[in-house]
Structure 1
Amino acid sequence: MQVGSSLPVPTYGEHYMKNISFIEIRSPDSNIFRRFPIPRVGAVLLSTILKNQGHNVRVYIEDIARPDWKFVEKSDIVCISTITSTVHYAYAIADRLRKLGVIVVIGGAHTTFMPDEAMGHADFVVRGEGDIALPALVEYIETGLPPVESIGGLTYRNLAGDIVHNPQGEFVKDLDTLPLPDFKLVHRWKNSNILPVATSRGCAFNCRFCLVSPMFGRKYRFRSVESVMGELKIRVKLSNSPIFFVDDNFAANRKRTKLILQGMNEIGLKPRWSAMVRPDIAKDPELLKIIADTGKPTVCIGFESINPESLKEYEKKQTLEDNITSIKKIKAHDIKIHGMFVFGADTDTVDTIKRTTDFATSMGLDSVQYMILTPLPGTKIYDEFKAQDRLLHTDWAKYDIHHVVYKPAMIAAHDLHFETLRAMRDFYSLDYILRRMSRLDLFYGAFGVYSRTMINKAIKSSDACVDGLCNLKSAI
């Protein structure tokens, strides 16, 4: 492994890139919510940049539709986007395409932090943001310029076969300079698909299990309100899809968030929409009122735990009291809440898991997502568990928030796996479904039926855990 290279690199140039394919690998079979796919914006944005440079580009999001393999296999370059739990499948596709002579570029969170591994299956790895690096790489393959050594965040091999990691490139400072993602490039895109809208990047926090800060930095970068509204105006003409603001914290700048939501009201855009926020939005009554006035909003909040010690361990910078207060104030404005919790901290017990459903139900959360702590490469907790020899294995397919892949401190791996599934089933109880239906809350009633069905299938299809390894079959 080298950082930079004084040795020559393979010669490129005069490779006319007629067709370029992007593939976003399908969600793991163990993902209980895979029937509600939210495409990552990155592949669509990067494809739009290359389209604007004159390339014939298609995007295949496998959670939406199967790729047109005839086009893919005849492409000059295939760019594959993957996360840790899907990387095994990404590598298999990459291996097959390279045997056909296709140039393969891999990117995404996993390969950003495991580039040497990825280079066993790809010609190039783009680490971190690809908005600058990927167009430069395509130009280099076509013309031989710019010099490959100058492309920030690129990993490749020199003529000696050594893996070279160029220094990381700079983040895009002005997000308004990027084009609006063209979803018409997505193969078989439908108006019913959830429409992702990114209005910022980065996160000022640095939770021990989260990849956002390592990938996009500790400083928020915001698109202007005018840019976001311009995109929303186009979207409302093309689609009635529910909108999901994919920012890690949509309300990081509350003044800006208010202007965006007020702008939605002004143009008559009142869809079903959701966004990830922190509990601190409850400290701003004006913001809560504006949220309540816009369509059918759902705020997705990482409460993470009802155990105060676990919140400290996760470095969440929020307390249980903060969570309780925020839920009460948000529910007082009749805003839906999707609560997210992570089980498996060193201070968690089986009782923590069981009490979480009592908490979520009594507080009136509208939906929940229970996740098993997963040490993903690039996170603090991965480095710590690896140093402590607590990782059970590196079968990346199991690094999917539904399996136990490390040695828990106070819970048996078997119990952590099954109690998490059972707790989520207990939340989506028959009583939950009946109460929602009786109030004519048909969306959440139907969502409860779906969730309970999928969780029951997951429980039934789970093998007994052996040596702490839980194998969840692909029956979901």
Structure 2
Amino acid sequence: MKIEKIALVEPVGVDWFNIYALTRMPRGIPLLAAILRQTGYQVDCYVGSIKKIKLKDLMQYDVIGFSAISCTIYPTHDMIRKLIDMGFVGKIIVGGPHATVLPAESIITGADVVVRNEGDKALLEVIAAFESGSDLGKIAGIHWWDGETIRSTPNRPFLTEQELSELPFPALDSIVGLERMNLVPITFSRGCPYQCEFCGVAGMYGSRYRCTTVEWRVAQVRNLKENYPEIWATTAIFFTDDNLFGTPRSREVTIEFLNRLVAEDLVPPMGFVCQIRVADATPEIAALFKKANCCLVCMGIESADDKALKLLNKEQTAEDIRVGLANLHAEGLNTLAMTIAGTDEDTFWSFWRSIRQLTKWGITYLQVLNLVPLVGTPMTKRFMAEGRKCCENYDRHNGMHVTIKPKKMSRFGVWASLYLVCFGWFYGRLLLKPSFKYRKLIWVGALQELKRPWEIIRNRFRR
């Protein structure tokens, strides 16, 4: 099979108001595009949150690779079915966190191969096997059709730190609609040493934190400045690591990197966004963030209630949160508290008290997501062992829907925690301030919720 043109696709979910749809940026496919381009393939990236994907545009490619998370897996499968019905004769590959845990779903839908976990090496090997007609069974970390049987190979070892530090800069110019991107993603590490019960990062990238070198990080930022000057001048960078500092060793690497940005005139003019643990928000780190022009510090706070934090295995306390926020605000930094509604320790009033406490501690922005039973996580496995009923409609696994009933809270209480406490109480006050930049965003969320009662009424009349 002759392969020249490859499309890499990240579909968007059915809801148009959630964190995955509102951040107009890709996850990992521009990096895969850069790896494939090094071998001579022509590669284009289609990202649904950046520009609407038209199936007719995909028909011209020899191979289509889909990257999907749980809330986009149904749209991904729908696209695969429609492409096959339209007569697509090329090969289809699926990867991403959801397909890593449940690969058979995508194979049965019509994918030729599912790549599990990291695809940096496996994707290239699969495409080479398509071209040569060689045995897919020699490629580690995949599922595929073999006649009428789904076969699989053992997991592939994760990339080493040296291998991560040899990866190319993501091919941003491969993104269709690049000019609409509102954040530039750069990733410096993979894996997580922490064992938060609800999180799927360790399942996708392993529990060992692997970080890139200082030189590689600096080169990534310099490449963006020199080769994409317009994006550099107009768009903020998002260091997408789930934990920018990670281990004590990688913390020193990150500190040196940030100091190099300042010393080598590589401070992003529009600033950078990052995700850290509150325990890492020391006065020294806060001052360094200020010098390097950090425009938003995102923290997985989850709750200001110590019982909820212990249940989620967060390895942090409410006092840690208070101190970390105080250090960041002392430098005038914007903070985003990422929280979860609907743990088994939550009631509506305990959640409201938690958010009120965070407000008193001065958080700039608030993100509330309802608890989601992501496939393969320790929490979801616990729910299944307890016989708890979880919502199996993956379209709703984006944090904006009630997908599991907590032990101490009604489903309405979970809904109210998100839409009344977060949007009504917290952001309702900010809407009155002329300086608040995200007024349109909040109204979008309100409109999405107003359509839900209408849909319920309409569906009842249709019966």
Q: Would you say same fold, with TM above 0.5?
A: yes
Q: Write the mapping of 1:274-313 to structure 2, written as runs, cut at 5 A.
A: 274-282=273-281, 284-313=282-311
The correspondence for 2:149, drawn from 148, 162, 180, is 162
Contact preservation (8 Å) 1:276, 1:299 = yes
Q: Write the mapping of 1:103-118 to structure 2, written as runs, cut at 5 A.
A: 103-118=91-106
> Unpaired runs of 5+ in structure 1?
1-14, 472-476
Q: Which residue of 2 aligns with 1:432?
A: 430
Q: CA deviation at 1:459?
A: 3.1
Q: Write the mapping of 1:202-221 to structure 2, written as runs, cut at 5 A.
A: 202-221=191-210
SS in 1 for 2:437: helix
Q: Which residue of 1 aligns with 2:124?
A: 135
Separation of aligned partners in 1, 2:259 and 2:333:
16
Q: Write the mapping of 1:173-212 to structure 2, written as runs, cut at 5 A.
A: 173=160, 174-190=163-179, 193-212=182-201
Q: Which residue of 1 aligns with 2:386?
A: 388
Q: CA deviation at 1:408?
A: 1.6
Q: Write the mapping of 1:357-368 to structure 2, written as runs, cut at 5 A.
A: 357-368=355-366
Separation of aligned partners in 2, 1:287 and 1:392:
40
Q: Write the mapping of 1:403-442 to structure 2, written as runs, cut at 5 A.
A: 403-435=401-433, 437=434, 442=435
Question: Which residue identity does 1:155 align to in structure 2?
Answer: H
Cα 1:345–1:431 shift into 2, 3 Å: closer
CA RMSD of aligned residues (A): 2.0
Question: Which residue identity does 1:281 align to in structure 2?
Answer: D
Q: Which residue of 2 aligns with 1:262?
A: 259
SS in 2 for 1:63: coil
Task: Map Cα deviations across residues 242-291 of structure 1 (whole Å, 9 max, x no partner).
Answer: 00000011122221111221222223323321100001123x43222111
Deviates more, 1:255-264 or 1:123-132: 255-264
SS in 1 for 2:165: helix
Q: CA deviation at 1:192?
A: 5.3
Contact preservation (8 Å) 2:239, 2:274 = yes
Deviates more, 1:41-50 or 1:314-323: 41-50
The correspondence for 2:453, drawn from 433, 451, 463, is 463
Separation of aligned partners in 1, 2:312 and 2:451:
31
Matched, 1:31 2:30: no
Q: CA deviation at 1:465?
A: 11
Contact preservation (8 Å) 1:20, 1:55 = yes
Separation of aligned partners in 2, 1:357 and 1:113:
33
Separation of aligned partners in 2, 1:256 and 1:427:
40
Question: Which residue identity does 2:53 align to in structure 1?
Answer: P
Deviates more, 1:191-200 or 1:83-92: 191-200
SS in 2 for 1:59: strand
Q: Which residue of 2 aligns with 1:119?
A: 107
Separation of aligned partners in 1, 2:445 and 2:77:
29
Separation of aligned partners in 2, 1:357 and 1:318:
17
SS in 1 for 2:367: strand
Task: Map Cα deviations across residues 221-248 of structure 1 (whole Å, 9 max, x no partner).
Answer: 1111111111101212312210000001
Cα 1:187–1:40 shift into 2, 3 Å: closer
Matched, 1:21 2:7: yes
Contact preservation (8 Å) 1:30, 1:402 = no
Separation of aligned partners in 2, 1:221 and 1:316:
20
> Unpaired runs of 5+ in structure 2?
none
Separation of aligned partners in 2, 1:462 and 1:96:
28
Deviates more, 1:33-42 or 1:163-172: 33-42
Contact preservation (8 Å) 1:404, 1:416 = yes
Q: CA deviation at 1:217?
A: 0.8
Separation of aligned partners in 1, 2:346 and 2:169:
43
Separation of aligned partners in 2, 1:421 and 1:355:
15
Q: CA deviation at 1:416?
A: 0.8
Question: Which residue identity does 1:274 align to in structure 2?
Answer: V
TM-score normalized with structure 1 length: 0.88
Q: CA deviation at 1:329?
A: 1.5
Question: Which residue identity does 2:272 align to in structure 1?
Answer: W
Q: CA deviation at 1:454?
A: 2.5
Separation of aligned partners in 1, 2:181 and 2:91:
33
Q: CA deviation at 1:389?
A: 2.3
Q: Which residue of 1 aligns with 2:337?
A: 339
Q: Which residue of 1 aligns with 2:214?
A: 225
Contact preservation (8 Å) 2:340, 2:369 = yes
Question: Which residue identity does 1:273 align to in structure 2?
Answer: F
Question: Which residue identity does 1:112 align to in structure 2?
Answer: T
Q: Which residue of 1 aligns with 2:159?
A: 172
